[in-house]
Amino acid sequence: QVQLQESGPGLVKPSQTLALTCSVSGGSISSGDSYWSWIRQHPGKGLEWIGYIHYSGSTYYNPSLESRVTISVDTSKNQFSLKVTSVTAADTAVYFCARAPSKSADWFDPWGQGTLVTVSS
Amino acid sequence: DIVMTQSPDSLAVSLGERATINCKSSQSVLSSSNNKNYLAWYQQKAGQPPKVLIYWAFTRESGVPDRFSGSGSGTDFTLTISSLQAEDVAVYYCQQYSSTPLTFGQGTRLEIK
């Protein structure tokens, strides 16, 4: 079955760019109608959808983050990525990647294990 | 944005007893075109990612025990655990996928009494 794994730096300095990659195994990122998603969870808090991408390149972002967020896909590597620019301490969170089955059925399954990103100088 | 509000924030239930978690959306998540409620429930255990339990408001994900059930329509939904087991200790979230931005409830922490 499909498995996802996040990777990237665990510490980012304020004002810099956070960059994470999600590697997909057990299935092709290019198959079907799946939307490949990023979700974050601030320490001890709830879940915030960041955005998602279809392998065709079609993207949807949370308007609250849209000005600072880019999600891209690399079908040759079976990966998709997240960039968040101009980070502050408020971007400290566990970042999850996940799959939504389709644009009209966008619950999330499966999820990666998550990676903690701390924004600090 | 559709705001999802769960109640209660935390809940303590005895083993074998029923647990009920509520979720209310600020707008209806029922589609008039297909009569489906765009509502999912997740379970998140400590140190783990969330796991989907239910989607379309009441369709149980494969492998999820049948003690978990979802109900409701429109703006009011309920997740019920019919007989609480020790392994059900977790935080539970509802999520709407009726419109973007996709949004989650604040979570309900379920503990053993």
Question: Pick from B17, B111, B32: which is nearest to B73 by CA?
Answer: B32
Cβ of residue A36 closer than 8 Å to a chain B Cβ: no
What residues of chain B lie within 8 A of the CB of A4, using their CB?
Answer: none
**Own/partner pairs for A22-25, CB < 8 Å, 24+ apart?**
A22/A79, A22/A80, A22/A81, A22/A82, A22/A97, A22/A112, A23/A77, A23/A78, A23/A79, A24/A78, A24/A79, A24/A80, A24/A99, A25/A78
What residues of chain B lie within 8 A of the CB of A108, using their CB?
Answer: 40, 42, 50, 52, 95
Q: Give the N- to C-terminal CA distance of chain B in Å, as an integer.
A: 36
| Beta carbons of B102 and A64 less than 8 Å apart | no
CA distance A60 to chain B (A): 8
Give the closest of A46, A107, A114 to B52, CB-based: A107
Cβ of residue B47 closer than 8 Å to a chain A Cβ: no
Q: How does pLDDT run across B25-80, given as a tens digit for each residue?
A: 999 999 999 999 999 999 999 999 999 999 999 999 999 999 999 999 999 999 99
User: How many A×B Cβ pairs under 8 Å?
Assistant: 49
Question: Pick from B99, B87, B17, B11: which is nearest to B51 by CA?
Answer: B87
Q: How does pLDDT run across A36-69, given as a tens digit for each residue?
A: 999 999 998 999 999 999 999 999 999 999 999 9
Confidence at residue B71, expressed as pLDDT on a 0 to 100 scale: 98
Closest chain B residue by Cα to residue A65? B101
Q: How does pLDDT run across A90-106, given as a tens digit for each residue?
A: 999 999 999 999 888 89
What residues of chain B lie within 8 A of the CB of A98, using their CB?
Answer: 49
